[in-house]
Structure formats: C-alpha cells, structure tokens
Amino acid sequence: MTPNLIHYLARVKNQIHIFKALISLTVIIAFLSISVAHAQHWLEEDEGYVSRRKGLEFGVNMGVYMANNNQMTSSSIFYNGSGYYELGDNSATLYSIEERLNLGTTEAQVTNMLNTDGFQIPYDAYGYMRYDPGMMFGLKAVRFWNPESAIVLSFDAASLKATGFYTMNLNGLPGQGQGMNNTKLYGVIGEERRMLTTLGFRTSMYITDRSSWIFELGGIATGTQVVENYCLVETTPYDLLVTFNGPGQISGPTSNLTNIGFGFYTTIGLEALFEEGGNLEANLRLSRDNVKLGSQEIDDFGVLGYQGIQWNAAIYVTWMIPPHVGEYVRASF
C-alpha cells in the first residue's frame, strides 16, 4: 500500500466521520421540525398561550467536535513526530521519532523486531497529521431576561486524536545482501483534550410560541491538554513524551501540559419548546480559537511550542433540564 493511497484513505475516513455528524444533525432537525408542527397544531387549539420564559435554566450538551484540519493552520502538526516543538515540562522531552527509536536499548529492540541490521528515519519522513472528529460533552447555564434575550455560560470537553504516518528505511535485510533498502510506513498518533468555556449573549427568533431560531455570540476560552504522542513500529507503540534516565528508565511527563487561549464564537441553532420544559436544541458552533500546545516561552524565532489562531466547529444537541424536574422526581417516589 503506497503512502499516497494511505493518506487518501485517511482523508476518506475523516470525511465519513463528518458525513455521519451531518446526518445526525439532519435527524435532530427533522425531529425538532416534527415537534414544531405538533406545537403549531396545539396552538390552533389554544391561542391563549404566552411564553413566560424568564430566570435561570440549565442544560446538558452532547455532540461532535471537529478540530481544524487545514494543512497550514492545524495544531495537529505538533504531533507529527519531528520533535520540532518544545514540550514545556521540566522532567520530560518531546523527542523526534528518530531520537526516540535510538534512545537506550530501543534501537536493538526495533532491529530485532524487524529482523534487520539497521534502520534510518529520512529527513522528510514526517507527514501531514489530521484530527478525527471527537465526542463532546458539557453543561450549559442560561439566564433569561425574557424569552428573546439571555446570557449563556457553557463548559464543554472534547477528546481528540490526530493521526498520520512516517517512513522508515530498513537496510541489510537477511538474504538480500548489503545495500538493499526497504521502506516502511508506520503510524504516529497524538491525543489531546480540549476544555471549552464560552460566555455569550443569546437572542431567539420565534417561529411559533413552541419553536425558535437561536443565535449566540461571545467569547471562548480554549484549554488544550497534551495527553499522549507516540509512534508505532509494527504494532508496538513508543511514547515520544518521555523522561530518559538511562537504559530501561523511561517515564512520562509529570505535569498536565495544559495551556489556555482566548477567542470568540458564534452559534446558530433550532429549539423546540415543550409545555412542561425539557426543551431540545440542535446547534452548530463556529469558534475562532487561540490554540496553544507545549512551551509558550519565546526566543528569537518565536514561541518554542505551538501557538496558532484557527477555526473549529462543533455540532451538538442540548437538552434543557425542566425547571420543575425536582418536583417530578419527588412525585415519582
């Protein structure tokens, strides 16, 4: 399987994830549309209903977070195995794949595993990385002044995985004679966690008294934590974020490797309101984030780690908890 074919298959896989997310959102909107139609029929029977939405409400978010995959701006490059960036941890280092596979006794392990007398990582071994869409969960608090205006505070978390490939040249293969090279293509993976805090103004455009369009605009704080970065040789993983204290003495970083950046966001959504509360929202959020990974110290060439402004997106559903849910729970016992 050629590198171009593998990269093509990776792009197809990512597009399938996005397609599934869009299908899910379509199903949600269809469900909300049915609810809207039902609400409109209900209104024909009782025209006296007037929304009295005011005060504090809470909700639960669940959906898909899609990190930026633009080749020029994506933060996934931090994990590509080149070791270009500084980690920012006093006890650990972000090694390149070449450095890591020659660390301590690792070189001997790899040559034995591959049944060769040597290997090289070429200078152009490190390729393009892509984030897979990740699940996002969170909580929301909304303070309504009236049914059309509110302040929104949300806390969300998403786990992301960035995947890519690197090349390795093997030499001196048994039975082939010296000077015969064989190029292998292996995976490199980065895992991170994003904590998203948004604070913004919300306005609603009512379609009926039981349905409305939602618009939000505000600020976002993006906390990004580096969780793992490792390369594969066959099926064996080798951590790139390690502390090396001698042969057989390799450990991971001791800090949580988290940075925070600030940006802005906008959200558009469709809400179906129910008589007893428990409203449902289908939302699309676009955010302009300041993403930071690794050390944020500055030298003559700029930030030692990664820092970049980028667009990210999330598609999610919000269930607004009924304000009298406590009474319902007590009544059921």
CATH code where residue 145 lies: 2.40.160.20
The confidence band for 222, taking pLDDT boundaries of 50, 70 and 90, is very high
Amino acid at 109: Q
User: Of 85, 166, 81, 164, which is closest to residue 129 (Cα–Cα)?
Assistant: 164
- Residue, of 28 and 90, whose pLDDT is higher: 90
Region of poorest pLDDT, from 21-35, 185-199, 257-271, 277-291: 21-35
What integer pLDDT is reported at residue 240 of this predicted model?
93
What integer pLDDT is reported at residue 171 of this predicted model?
80
- Residue, of 278 and 176, whose pLDDT is higher: 278
Centroid of chain to Cα 88? 21
Residue 58 has pLDDT above 70, yes or no: yes
User: Residue for token digits 């605009």?
Assistant: 217
What integer pLDDT is reported at residue 29 of this predicted model?
55
Residue 40 has pLDDT above 80, yes or no: no
What integer pLDDT is reported at residue 176 of this predicted model?
52
Mean residue pLDDT across the chain: 83
For the stretch 80-139, pLDDT in tens is: 999 999 988 777 889 999 999 998 888 999 999 998 888 999 988 898 999 999 999 999
Query: What's the mean pLDDT in 311-318?
Result: 97
Sign of CA dihedral 173, 175, 181, 184: negative
Query: What's the mean pLDDT in 312-327?
Result: 84
Task: Please give the sequence-ordered ranges of beta strands (E in DSSP) within the chain, or none if there are none.
Answer: 55-66, 93-94, 118-120, 130-132, 134-146, 149-171, 182-208, 211-233, 236-239, 241-244, 250-251, 258-272, 280-293, 298-299, 302-303, 306-320
C-beta of residue 310 within 8 angstroms of C-beta of residue 73 = yes
Query: What's the mean pLDDT in 135-156?
Result: 96
Residue 50 has pLDDT above 50, yes or no: no
What integer pLDDT is reported at residue 25 of this predicted model?
56
- Residue, of 212 and 39, whose pLDDT is higher: 212
The confidence band for 208, taking pLDDT boundaries of 50, 70 and 90, is confident
What integer pLDDT is reported at residue 256 of this predicted model?
76
Residues 6+ apart with CB under 8 A from 101: 107, 110, 119, 121, 231, 233, 238
Q: How many domains does the chain have?
A: 1
Tell me the residue range of the domain where 88 lies: 3-331
- Residue, of 198 and 52, whose pLDDT is higher: 198
Residue 249 has pLDDT above 80, yes or no: no
What integer pLDDT is reported at residue 181 of this predicted model?
64
What integer pLDDT is reported at residue 280 of this predicted model?
94
Region of poorest pLDDT, from 49-53, 140-144, 225-229, 230-234: 49-53
What integer pLDDT is reported at residue 13 of this predicted model?
56
Tell me the pTM: 0.80
What integer pLDDT is reported at residue 81 of this predicted model?
94
What integer pLDDT is reported at residue 220 of this predicted model?
98
What integer pLDDT is reported at residue 278 of this predicted model?
77
What integer pLDDT is reported at residue 145 of this predicted model?
93
What integer pLDDT is reported at residue 180 of this predicted model?
57
C-beta of residue 228 within 8 angstroms of C-beta of residue 241 = yes
- Residue, of 172 and 67, whose pLDDT is higher: 67
